Amino acid sequence: MKNSFEYAALAPIVVLLGAGVFSILIEAFVPRTSRRICQLFLVLGSLALSFGYVLINATKTLVGDPATNGGQTHGLRQFAVNGATVIDGAGLFLQGTLILIAFVAALLLAENQVDPQGDAFAARSSTLPGSEDERQFTAQGWTQTEIWPLYLFCVGGMVLFPVANDFLTMFVALEVFSLPLYLMAGMARRRRLLSQEAALKYFVLGAFSSAFFLFGSALIYAVTATMNFGQVSVALENAGQDTLVITGIGMIAIGLLFKVGAVPFHQWIPDVYQGSPTALTAFMGAATKVAAFAAMLRVFYVAFGGMRWDWRPMFWVVAILTMLIGSILAVTQTDIKRMLAFSSIAHAGFLLLGVIATSASGLSSSLLYLFAYGFTTIGSFAVVSLVRDAAGEATHLSQWAGLGKKSPVVATSFALFLLALAGIPLTSGFTGKFAIFTAAIGGGATPLVIVAVIASAIAAFFYARVIVLMFFTEPPVDGPNVVIPSWFTKIAIGVSVAVTLLIGVFPQPLIDLIVSSGIFAS
């Protein structure tokens, strides 16, 4: 086996991690006044560059429409680092999606107009909440630029996640993108106690779940003597009956189900989404979901694809629980961020249908869904970050009454995102839902689709309720108002709206891209 390190193939990741290191240097050497601007250039630039590399790799791996080239769906693929990573069409698509989402999210994180005190992060997270020096730092208008190296490492880890081709790499990537998230979750400028609590919970439970993932892969390794997905699937064809294997699959599933926020591993989601700075929540809600599902799809399609008859029932149960509990619990939420958190749980349930299908259409529909969902989520949280009163963001539903009067544009775009989440036609949400339901029925999961339909019906209620609140009720006298953000947020929301509508009305180009990017390589 030759020792090689294919820089070209890994360029997107290398660029981001490298940029991360570099941005630490910026923290160290650039004077405070000019740090923010340098960091922004570095972050956005490196994201753009790495996206460019993704495109370059894509040109090498795309196979075009399987219909036109003899039904071949295996893209050219390139294993890197002795097969520790595999660069294939689906992986590249996911990388691209992640980088785009990260780019838009970066704009949100950079926003420093909506809050009179500065950006979304504490002036100095080391200071005690409510303490004297906190007040001073805030008064001096310090802003924290340490989040940017964290952010770059996080994105780097995420971009590595979907192309990781063995359990170890996957674990490392998992930690690389989780640890910065834990930290950033705790750095909110307002409501710092909640923020820190969110960080703690996220960390403890996250570590807990990754331990499961790790132990699971250890067991699989113990049976198959390899961690490479391809080899694992081959090995399992004869060793598949071992109980250790089943246990291993189960534990790996737990680790990943936690990340996607599937019931009963979902409870961190509402707390963390609510506690973290909203800009970060937007990033988490979108990117983590994509990355985690990317990994889950790869693991269960490639490594455990042969054992689908064993793990499918387990996923059925989880999917049903996730869809129903997610939708039902959202009904009585009074905090908009928590409500969106529960809705993201329900959506995780819908996405599980794509995993269960374990078919080409299952994969492509999941990719479509993830892409659509990612941007809708970013957009909706971006809007949440704009509705503020003196104490910061006004996230209680009652405060959203009559928003349509105060700011029709913002309210309308939020309504659009809600409709997309509810899966109303002509929005991206419907396209994704339609694709994934089709795949599920094609894969013989009709009962799940019925459950999904019922769940969507329940979900429709609380989405519609918010619209009623915004448009059909009179605004409270001392209600919050919608602040006019800087171009960062404007662009972020604009892009999300555009994507939501475009994929709703003209999904064909995206679908072509996904289909031509082919299935996972093993």
Q: Within 262-321, which residues bind another protein (CB under 8 A)? A: 263-265, 267-268, 270-271, 274-275, 309-311, 313-314, 317-318
One symbol per residue from 469 to 498: x for binding another protein (CB under 8 A), - otherwise; what is it? Answer: --xxx-------------------------
Binder among 247, 306, 360, 494 for another protein (CB under 8 A): 247
417-446 residues in contact with another protein (CB under 8 A) are: 419, 422, 424-426, 430, 434-435, 437-438, 441-442, 446
Residue 121 gets which letter from DSSP?
B
**Spatial distance between the Cα atoms of 485 and 481, rounded to a whole number of angstroms:** 12
What is the sign, positive or negative, of the torsion defined by CA atoms of 146, 344, 267, 398? Answer: positive
Nearer to another protein, 12 or 180 (CB): 180
Q: Which two tokens stand for residue 155?
A: 């994105």
Binder among 64, 66, 129, 479 for another protein (CB under 8 A): 129
Q: Which stretch binds another protein (CB under 8 A): 5-13, 50-58, 155-163, 209-217?
A: 209-217
Smallest separation, CB 219 to another protein (Å): 7
453 binds another protein (CB under 8 A): yes
CB within 8 Å of 204: residues ≥ 6 apart: none
Nearer to another protein, 30 or 218 (CB): 218
CB within 8 Å of 41: residues ≥ 6 apart: none
Residues 337 and 394: beta-carbon distance below 8 Å: no
Nearer to another protein, 201 or 490 (CB): 201
Burial class of residue 441 in the structure, from the number of CB atoms within 10 Å of its CB (0-12 exposed, 13-18 middle, 19+ buried):
middle
What is the DSSP track for 383-413?
HHTTEEETTEE--BGGGGTTHHHH-HHHHHH
Q: Binding residues for another protein, how many (CB under 8 A)?
A: 106
Q: Which two tokens stand for residue 185?
A: 């979750």
158-197 residues in contact with another protein (CB under 8 A) are: 168, 171-172, 175, 179, 182-183, 186, 192-194, 196-197
**Spatial distance between the Cα atoms of 334 and 337, rounded to a whole number of angstroms:** 9
238 binds another protein (CB under 8 A): no
- Could you tell me the maximum CA-CA distance found in the chain, to the nearest angstrom? 72
221 binds another protein (CB under 8 A): yes
Binder among 98, 147, 284, 329 for another protein (CB under 8 A): 329
Nearer to another protein, 143 or 224 (CB): 224
Binder among 44, 244, 360, 502 for another protein (CB under 8 A): 244
Cross-strand pairs, 389: 392
Give the CA angle between residues 365, 366, 371 to the nearest 5°. Answer: 100
39-98 residues in contact with another protein (CB under 8 A) are: none
